[in-house]
Structure 1
């Protein structure tokens, strides 16, 4: 039995214990709520002070995001920086141990709610000169550790071994076919990142204008025999090898390429070497097990500050400790500039991206059939750079202005200006029209073959060996969605394709054709070449292969005809050329600016229009750039026994592409478009938004944010 005092003491003790327990279980209302984080940017090193001096990987983030506020971080190498926008920037410290410890400490920091945060690892790296140039950026789909290995001294490597590194669980160096499943700690060796998220980031940033400097250019020039290493900086996709050891040289570069294929699969493509990322990914995956972070929301961006092997004539020993050109400033700028685009997109789209990972927008699958003339060059660059276009293939219509070999060669080189790692196949069709003998002026052909004398770096790729019609068929057959064809030269390839593969039309979405004229005057009169030609109605593409054009227009394909009636609204002027010049900020735009300079006479003549460019714009936005009527159309191609020799090529084969004797067509009416009875399958473009056309073209070929010198 308790006396009164004892009972009172007991009750007070019970109440006190309950209050203490309640305080432990329920945080007081005045306790600070964790700060919501949308994006974490992880850099790895800094030089000196965080701002105001020689930059490391942290400094540009702080200087270009002035709303970031410093927060102490006793468990890390550097302070943290937080913005009310939901951006958190950290500098982990160099090497895998620092990266692992700092990431783990950050992930456990109760001041932050990281449960939905995206993680952007953005830092500089060594680059494989087979794949990248200085200042370039590579988004990784895989991170592979390079420290967890068997290693023997280089002086004791067997003669038949390429290097002294052996995968754990193996007995000899990697060759891609080994079974390394018995190796230990495999969960910390290879990390596959979300490919959909990586693709989204790449598509968002692939045309970013990047810094280039004279020092970077001079160092790149030393890498003869490595054409991609000598290019101006670009953004691409490529995997990364992580090792605290700062390795270097040709033999170890070979090891790095082999190593990634062993641990990340045969499709892995080693491009960059780093010293932290496998540690960072290890920590994030451990934190993911505890529900602190989502390791699926990780992006890895590495930029080239140096190469992983020396140029010819230099030793690996020299190259290992050589200074980075400009102290790596180009790579530091690229890491921040490209990364910032992704950060801003994630924060601005947070309402959608909080609960669902972003994915690249569905793009329009396109085959470009082109005769590689001056306006085809700009149309090709537009299609290759526009984010809504998925360029599947390029087929050259060599019955047009450019000949087959230079046409395919130039197309490959132009594609490389946009992405040196592109795999768009390019092939050529017949060199003559289906029937008839008409050709473009010889001087035009020479100018088109040589890109108006503008120099361009040749592609390392070769033309696809398939005939253009076969490439067109194979591409459509393999496409995952209905394909749009844009044809901006004579319709030779398209007509032959319809003849050979009529079933392909079921897999087509649209055929956009630049060619023809209905009410507008023609444009085939060229002084000194077609003097006295009575035809004032035909347009060149249709005139050269009138039979092919008639076959195409009479088909059941859904066609949009971008002819002279509408292209006459988009004259290229010297004012436009000046505006474009002021916005040049990347290799593709630089090339086109030089083409405009080389063709100033053409602009001054008042006869240069955005013919093929307008057709390319219509592929992206038909409603804005192709207003017109649905018509049934046909093309005149009357046979004659009185050939028009001035615009004919007497050396053409005597047989047509159908195997019949090649005919002459009456020059007075060849290529003239007329309305016909029957299905109205052609949208004939009559009007367009000219101002929007020029603006969209400039916005696509330039970034709108010129890189700093």
Structure 2
């Protein structure tokens, strides 16, 4: 205790002297009132001149933020650049010593008031190919130093050790639980960042279009054993390891993953390696002691310019010194493209953010019950990309158009297009309606199972093993706020859920359903499949499982019914498809563009509408996209001894969901929506803002403008 007290006292005295000393050098000869700084952007290196030549980490910030004025910075490696809007851009110099010294000098520079400034460290890094692809951007939750370590020469590592690094205070490598409490310099080994601030930045930027070049694509193609490394670049969250040594290789990549978990906790995920951030954070935390800066206002964005280990067939020695594809341009672009919206938001929102740090906006928690048909794909991508939606789970209603195995597999792959690190569970319900024998056309089912022949990278995740109804129940049970349920297929899962867990209704504030028709004509007439069917009023989702629909409509749930009466306002046209093609700038949009190409015949027929998409839009803005009236509704189903075989599947189990003999329903009335007496629990949608609907969909699936075309898949032909 005496030694600790002495060291603390000495550190305080030394810190005071350093503040006074550096203050003398940093203070201009004639100091005016300090310039107010709202955001500091820290880059680490530059190639050649600050502007006009081959860019490093500084140049793009200067060229894309006009109005910045150069200011001398004697104690730094580069000049400073300040704008009247409160933006200060600095380049620290590469490596931990440069970063530490430059940050400390900047923090003590009396020309600036940095007391309330936000700090954005934005630079390139090595990326773990298990987690990232070239050009991907990762917002850090934690920074861990990799230099403060016991090290054994590689030629003397014991055979049973995976590598020669030992945590300070420990006696063996970090590939397991470690007690490092007796190690020294613990205050500069691991830094946790403000989780709320990092999440806000991620949510703000997660759909940012990123540069992807042929050189980047060719290089990542070599990483055949690392599926995430082969994806187009994306934005995610993940932790960063800081070390002055430019390390490389499979064994050291294993060490980096272990090291992060020892010092930042078991939930830490190593994604990027950098050579400065622990030094920068050390300086900022020291400055925080003197109230010069607020170290709780720090963001770190690292982008992958290369991988931290080689591909198969390449040596670590080759990979360590290999040129970055396009000189790392993709990563340099990502650092500025992803960081700029955060800078802009902080500056424009300064009236609020000066005193209160931003937090991620509250999002609508949603469970999506879908039959994974063509319009469901678009709705799923919309839900996954919209910043106002928190998608909790996806349940597949396999009594609809897609079968269980392909339906869940495709849902997982589509979710990965938006965020390869997502953990949204996907599971399936029963493959047959509650009762009756009606099915969608077999040809449609084949087409939906194969995503209309459009190829897509399979997900690394497996479907959840729980029945869809059980997953829905478990998600609602663990939710902290009421959950919105969106159902865009037959209501088989929803009806079973209501039957098994009636108490769950209070956990859901609304059920949005795409289905039904009240005054508009039905849509179940399919030449060659439903010829001569007497039913002209039903909609497919309700027709296939009319019993389930009736149970749901008669429940106590608050329902919004997005039926044909309103979806007829949102026809998908060739003009829409052509305009959408010009906006494609990310893998999700590229997939949907390929689907539209594969279904041009459907668009040309004039029978394709944004059915499920409009229902998803209503989740976000009911007033705009679902104008209607409150009604009490029911779905018709009438048992018959005269089956309608053309739309029936004779291979269904003989017993229905209750274990009693499965019945046939009269085709003439099955699924017809009718008004009923009693509680008016359903908002029946009659009108919508069609122009706004298409605009919101496109703006959500794509970025504000197209830069470089990005593609995850090759457009395929229509499936058989």
- The alignment's TM-score, normalised by the length of structure 1, stands at 0.96
Partner SS for 1:680: coil
Q: Which residue of 2 aligns with 1:18?
A: none
Q: Does 1:547 align with 2:547?
A: yes
Deviation of the 1:474 alpha carbon = 0.4
Partner SS for 2:228: coil
On the 8 A contact 2:175/2:255 being kept in 1, the answer is: no
Deviation of the 1:708 alpha carbon = 4.0
Q: Which residue of 2 aligns with 1:34?
A: 34
Q: Which residue of 2 aligns with 1:21?
A: none
On the 8 A contact 2:31/2:111 being kept in 1, the answer is: no
Q: Which residue of 1 aligns with 2:682?
A: 682
Q: Which residue of 1 aligns with 2:407?
A: 407
Q: Which residue of 2 aligns with 1:129?
A: 129
CA distance in 2, matches of 1:121, 1:705: 25
Q: Which residue of 2 aligns with 1:368?
A: 368
Q: Which residue of 2 aligns with 1:103?
A: 103
Q: Which residue of 2 aligns with 1:172?
A: 172
Q: Deviations over 1:585-614 (max 9, x none)?
A: 111001001100111111110000000000
CA RMSD of aligned residues (A): 1.1
Bigger Rg, which one: 1
On the 8 A contact 2:120/2:300 being kept in 1, the answer is: yes
CA distance in 2, matches of 1:265, 1:445: 46
Partner SS for 1:258: helix
CA distance in 1, matches of 2:116, 2:579: 43
Q: Does 1:605 align with 2:593?
A: no
Q: Deviations over 1:364-416 (max 9, x none)?
A: 00000000000000000000000000000000000000011000000000000
CA distance in 1, matches of 2:658, 2:59: 67
Q: Deviations over 1:638-668 (max 9, x none)?
A: 0000000000000000010111110000000
Partner SS for 1:229: helix
On the 8 A contact 1:128/1:308 being kept in 2, the answer is: yes
Q: Deviations over 1:514-539 (max 9, x none)?
A: 00000000000100000100000000
Q: Deviations over 1:98-157 (max 9, x none)?
A: 000000000000000000000000000000000000000000000000000000100000
On the 8 A contact 1:371/1:400 being kept in 2, the answer is: yes
Q: Which residue of 1 aligns with 2:383?
A: 383
Deviation of the 1:579 alpha carbon = 1.1
Partner SS for 1:588: helix
CA distance in 1, matches of 2:342, 2:215: 28
Segment drifting more, 576-585 vs 607-616 = 576-585
- The alignment's TM-score, normalised by the length of structure 2, stands at 0.94
Partner SS for 1:99: helix
User: How do 1:285-684 residues align onto structure 2 when only pairs under 5 Å count?
Assistant: 285-684=285-684
Q: Which residue of 1 aligns with 2:15?
A: none
CA distance in 2, matches of 1:491, 1:471: 15
On the 8 A contact 2:249/2:310 being kept in 1, the answer is: yes
| Structure 1 residue runs of 4 or more that deviate by more than 3 Å after TM superposition | none
Q: Which residue of 1 aligns with 2:234?
A: 234
Q: Which residue of 2 aligns with 1:206?
A: 206
On the 8 A contact 1:144/1:260 being kept in 2, the answer is: yes
Partner SS for 1:664: coil
CA distance in 1, matches of 2:635, 2:590: 39
Deviation of the 1:175 alpha carbon = 2.8
On the 8 A contact 2:585/2:708 being kept in 1, the answer is: no
Provide structure 1 residue ranges, at least 5 long, that are not aligned to the other structure.
1-23
Partner SS for 2:144: strand
Deviation of the 1:707 alpha carbon = 2.8
Partner SS for 1:368: strand
Deviation of the 1:353 alpha carbon = 0.2
On the 8 A contact 1:176/1:266 being kept in 2, the answer is: no
Partner SS for 1:51: coil
On the 8 A contact 1:95/1:275 being kept in 2, the answer is: yes
Q: Deviations over 1:169-226 (max 9, x none)?
A: 0000013411100000000000000000000000000000000000000001000010
Q: Deviations over 1:552-603 (max 9, x none)?
A: 0000000000000000000001111111111111110010011001111111
CA distance in 2, matches of 1:96, 1:684: 62
CA distance in 2, matches of 1:176, 1:656: 52
On the 8 A contact 1:37/1:114 being kept in 2, the answer is: yes
User: How do 1:9-24 residues align onto structure 2 when only pairs under 5 Å count?
Assistant: none
Deviation of the 1:31 alpha carbon = 5.0
On the 8 A contact 1:626/1:688 being kept in 2, the answer is: yes
On the 8 A contact 1:197/1:299 being kept in 2, the answer is: yes
CA distance in 2, matches of 1:84, 1:337: 21
CA distance in 1, matches of 2:483, 2:143: 35
Provide structure 2 residue ranges, at least 5 long, that are not aligned to the other structure.
1-23, 710-720
Q: Which residue of 2 aligns with 1:145?
A: 145
Partner SS for 1:465: coil
- How many residue pairs were aligned? 683
Q: Deviations over 1:453-500 (max 9, x none)?
A: 111111011100110000000011011110000000000000000000
Q: Which residue of 1 aligns with 2:706?
A: 706
Q: Deviations over 1:260-314 (max 9, x none)?
A: 0000000000000000000000000000000000000000000000000000110
CA distance in 2, matches of 1:290, 1:330: 38
CA distance in 2, matches of 1:478, 1:309: 39
Partner SS for 1:42: strand
Partner SS for 1:352: helix
Partner SS for 1:301: strand
Q: Deviations over 1:74-99 (max 9, x none)?
A: 10000000000100000000000000
